[in-house]
Structures are given as structure tokens and as C-alpha cells.
Amino acid sequence: MERSKKKVLLWKKAIVHFALCFVMGFFTGFAPTGKSSSPIFSSQISPKNSPEQVEMLPQKQVTTTHANNVNRSLVVENPVPSPSRSKESEGVKLMETEAEAEAEAEEKEETNLVPRRLVIIVTPTSTRDKSQVVLLRRLANTIKLVSPPLLWIVVERKSDSDEVSELLRKTGIMYRHLVFKENFTDHEAELDHQRNVALKHIEHHRLSGIVHFAGVSNVYDLAFFDELRDIEVYGAWPVALLSANKQKVIIEGPVCDSSQVIGWHLKKLNNETDAKPPIHVSSFAFNSSILWDPERWGRPSSVQQTSQNSIKFVKQVVLEDETKLKGIPPEECSKIMLWSLRLPTRHSQLAALDSNIARRYK
């Protein structure tokens, strides 16, 4: 009986132990699962996508993966140069050296460049000429093509018309419009007065440049203005005078040996001309500093102060100092680069009519 009781107790203990284990296993199946610590599962997941998995690895695997990552980073930072890449790098280096050489050459050229001189063009006008605005517009189209710096000084008698001022504003040229109030009966005296007004303005403001008197009917070769900038003190050149009614051309200007002036073309063929013949106002140019600093060019300042006629003073200086006079172009002044068209104006037509009437009644 005792033995049977012991067996029953053992079976009861076994059944209770089994039931407890079953219940514990049953409830643990419903509980949430934690992070897997299996090495096989963690090795299948990329460390880049899930860096938290690395923490679950054993100590040996962490050290090996860290070493592999270090080796990979070194390989990426210091790649082995392939032949194609080395050629490309050599080409890039050659291009960089060529660009540096070009930049150095440009810097040297900039340092050696000489700034261009200012060309000052003085143009008088006449209210008696009906085609004045048309001729000014044509001259403006020529001056537009000249490389800067250039200053165009236009002198006009005071009037109620704004045609000249409007024309100058639309040209896009750097200009100065001067106006005078005096009245003149002589056309040439009026033109000389306008030139004097411009010269006084240049002297007062000390505009440094090469001064040239351009008539509204002048026709130019564009290379002429480049030659003007090479003048140091004075310059002269031949001018072709073309008349509308007369079928002939008159040449006025210097006779040159290379760029040195040795004489002048004379209007007359006999010896009745003066020793210093008058020169055409458009056939010479001069450095504007002679107006306010004549001593710089070897001229006494008292002569300039006593002279009230600036244009006369300039003509006198040009004729006296032939050693400082440069012929343009330098090839013996043999090329005509300026033509002066003598177009009939209202004043000239009236003068011709008066002379014809006077001849008839003599």
C-alpha cells in the first residue's frame, strides 16, 4: 500500500510539473519577440541599412567588420590610377598651364599698353547754310566709327531752333555744344570766331588732347584719326579740295620727306606767293597744351597772352616750328586721307550774284 501511494505522488508531481511548463510555454508564445541575437540572421542584414544590428554581434565579429570598413575607406580615398585617368589628368594640367601662360601674357600686354590720346574735333556751323543739319548728321555718322576717346565740340550761333542740340543728343558721341551771340557779316570771320570760342573753351578747361578743325563738308578716311593720335606737338597732311561746279581738284598741304615737312603745296605756280603761305584750317592739328602751357614746347608765354586771336596764333606756331611738325601719313604724305567738299551755300550764291551784278554795271 505504501509503495502504491508513493507511485501516485510521483505521478501527480510529474503531471503538475508538465502542466506548469505547458502553461508557461503557451503564454510565452503570445508575448512580443525581441531582437534576434542569431549571428546568421544579423550577417544577412547590411550594416549600412541597419547599424543597430552591429551592436548585437559578438565581440570578434565587430572587430572584423570595423577593420574591413577601415580598409574599404582607405581604398576609396587612395584609388589606383588607371592609364586613362592619368592621361586625363595630364591633359587637364597642360590646359591649366596654358591658361596661366595666357593670363600672364595678357597681364604683360596690359602693363605695356599706352592709353589712347583724346581727339578733340572742333566743328563750326553756319545758319546761312540750309543743308547744315544734313551735313552735321553725315559727319556724326563718320565720327561714330572712330575709336574712343573722342570729344566733338560743335559751335553754333544762338538761335531759337533746337535742331543741332537734338541731333547731338541722339548721336551717342561725347560732345560739347557751345553758343555765341555776336553777329557777323563776313562768313569767314564768323567761322574763325567760332574756332576761337572753341579754343578758349579748351584752354579754360585744360582739355588735353589733339585738336583738329573739321568742317561739316569734310570726308575722312577712318585711318586718319589713328594717325592723329601719334602726333606729339604739331601735325600736317595734304587736303584735297573738291568744288561742286569746277571739275578739278586742288591739293593743299605739306610736302614731306618721310614724315618730315620740307615745304608746302602752293596755290599759285609763280613766285608771288608769300614765304609762309596760309594753310587750310583742316590741314593741321596740334597738342592742346600749347594753349595754356606754351613754354613746354619752347614758346614764350607772353606771345600767347598778347594774341587775342587763338586760331591765328596756332597757325603761326605751326608754320614757324617745322622741326616739330609731323607729316601724315608718314609715307612722304603721299596719301590723301581728307577731302573737303566745297558745296554752294546761300551765302556763296548771293556773293556770286552780287559780283555778277557789279561787273555788268561797271
Q: Place 118 in a pLDDT band, splitting at 50, 70 and 90.
A: very high
- CATH, residue 157: 3.90.550.10
Q: Is 278 helix (H, G, I), strand (E, B) or coil?
A: coil
Note whether residue 253 is domain-resident.
Answer: yes
**What is the structure's pLDDT at 72?**
47
Note whether residue 42 is domain-resident.
Answer: no
Residue 152 burial (10 A CB sphere; 0-12, 13-18, 19+): buried
**What is the structure's pLDDT at 181?**
92
Rounded to two decimals, what is the model's pTM? 0.64
Note whether residue 319 is domain-resident.
Answer: yes
CA distance 113 to 109: 6
pLDDT tens digits, residue range 162-192? Answer: 999 999 999 999 999 999 999 998 988 999 9
Domain that holds residue 243: 119-353
Note whether residue 88 is domain-resident.
Answer: no
pLDDT tens digits, residue range 26-68? Answer: 878 776 665 444 444 444 444 444 444 444 444 444 444 444 5
CA distance 121 to 74: 73
Note whether residue 142 is domain-resident.
Answer: yes
Amino acid at 293: D
pLDDT higher than threshold 60 for residue 358: no
**What is the structure's pLDDT at 26?**
81
Contact indicator for 256, 327 with CB cutoff of 8 Å: yes
Note whether residue 3 is domain-resident.
Answer: no
Q: Number of helices and strands (H, E) in the chain? A: 11, 13
Note whether residue 100 is domain-resident.
Answer: no
Q: How many structural domains are present in the chain? A: 1
Q: Where are the beta strands (DSSP E) in the chain?
A: 119-124, 150-157, 175-180, 210-213, 218-220, 234-236, 239-243, 249-252, 254-257, 260-264, 284-287, 325-327, 338-342
Note whether residue 60 is domain-resident.
Answer: no
